[in-house]
Amino acid sequence: MDFEQADAINQAVRHLTLRHRARAAALLAPLGLHPGQEVLLLELARTGPMIQAQLSEALGCEPPSVTLMARKLEAAGHIRRRPAPSDRRASVVELTDSGAALVGQVRQLWRDLAEETAAGLPAETAAALPGLLMTLADNVDTRHPHGQGVAPS
């Protein structure tokens, strides 16, 4: 691949991620949330209570980042943390009633953001986006050696 094509790809990915995160932040702010916190709430809604280390792995975030998000969400009353019965050093994280109620709003916001992001694309292209974007993410996943990601089909 020549530099111009490489630059075009890298710039497009950079612009998309910056703009998507900024738009998500603007939509989340009225709910009192910051980017990343909504994903934590959605994961707990999807899986139920889980150990914080497992939550970190599921979110693809470093444990200190999840700890910080969890503290803020706990202070806001949206989650609770308690010692894990099998390991008192580990914390189980779960939604509170407030957090569960907030998840409905987050899901609607997430739908709105996806529709806004994919606006103007043919339905087939929009349907293919998750697979394409996950392939790109897997290709640059620092947790796996290069070439271990999912190859484009």
Domains of the chain in start order, with CATH, are: 36-139 (1.10.10.10)
Please indicate, yes or no, whether the overall pTM of this predicted structure exceeds 0.85: no
How far apart (Å, rounded) are the C-alpha atoms in residues 153 and 41? 32
Show Cβ contacts of residue 61 under 8 Å, excluding neighbours closer than 6 positions.
36, 69
Angstrom distance (rounded) from CA 33 to CA 19:
17
Taking the C-alpha atoms of residue 151 and residue 59, their distance in angstroms, rounded to an integer, is: 22
| Torsional class of 123: left (φ above 0), alpha (ψ -120 to 50), beta (otherwise) | alpha
Looking at residue 66, what is its pLDDT? 93
Per-residue model confidence (pLDDT) at position 75? 96
Question: What per-residue confidence (pLDDT) applies to 149?
Answer: 47
Mean pLDDT by 10-residue block, N- to C-terminus, for the chain (153 residues)? Answer: 93 94 96 95 96 92 92 96 86 95 96 95 95 91 59 47
pLDDT at res. 145: 59
Residue 152 is predicted with a pLDDT of 47
| Segment holding 79, helix H or strand E | strand 79-83
